[in-house]
Amino acid sequence: MMNRLPTEWVDRIFMRLHGRFGNSFTDKFKLGQIVDGVDIGIANAKQVWAEELAGISPNRIKNALLHNYDYAPSCDQFKAQCKSTIEAHRDFVGLPRKFTAEEREANRKRLQITLDSLNIKRLS
């Protein structure tokens, strides 16, 4: 069985995006065939979104929901936004790396050369 985002999460994502974009969001998925009071196109879209967004953290989803989209996003656009948030880049912040004194001095010299080329005051 494939991992999936919880149904409640996908329902809330759809509610939020419908709230922002109105029917231009949900109309992308509607087929007009209603089963048990639910359009089967929307039900299918929610299933696909649940599968595609599996494993994405709540913070990444929240940040993607806060993104200022020009148009109602597709699943792929929303997923890409989840992966491009600042939260996504924090995965690598904690990697241990200590620079040697020689590396720090070499980096300081490179930085000073760049600052000098931009006519910026010398580092202390």
Of the candidate ranges 21-30, 62-71, 107-116, the one whose mean pLDDT is the lowest: 107-116
Q: What is the pLDDT of residues 29-74, one digit of tens each?
A: 999 999 999 999 999 999 999 999 999 989 899 999 999 999 999 9
Distance, CA of 78 to CA of 89 (rounded, Å): 17
What pLDDT score does 1 carry? 44
pLDDT at 117: 84
Phi, psi of 14 (to 5 degrees): -65, -40
- The yes-or-no verdict on residue 85 having pLDDT over 90 is no
Amino acid 111: pLDDT: 86
Residue type for position 10: V
Residue 113 confidence (pLDDT): 87
Residue 94 predicted with pLDDT over 70? no
Given a contact cutoff of 8 angstroms between Cβ atoms, the answer to whether 72 and 21 are in contact is yes
Q: What percent of the chain has pLDDT over 70?
A: 85
- When mean pLDDT is compared over 12-16, 67-71, 97-101, the highest value belongs to 12-16
Give the DSSP H or E segment for 16: helix 7-21
The pLDDT, as a whole number, for residue 34 is: 92
Q: What pTM was computed for the model?
A: 0.66
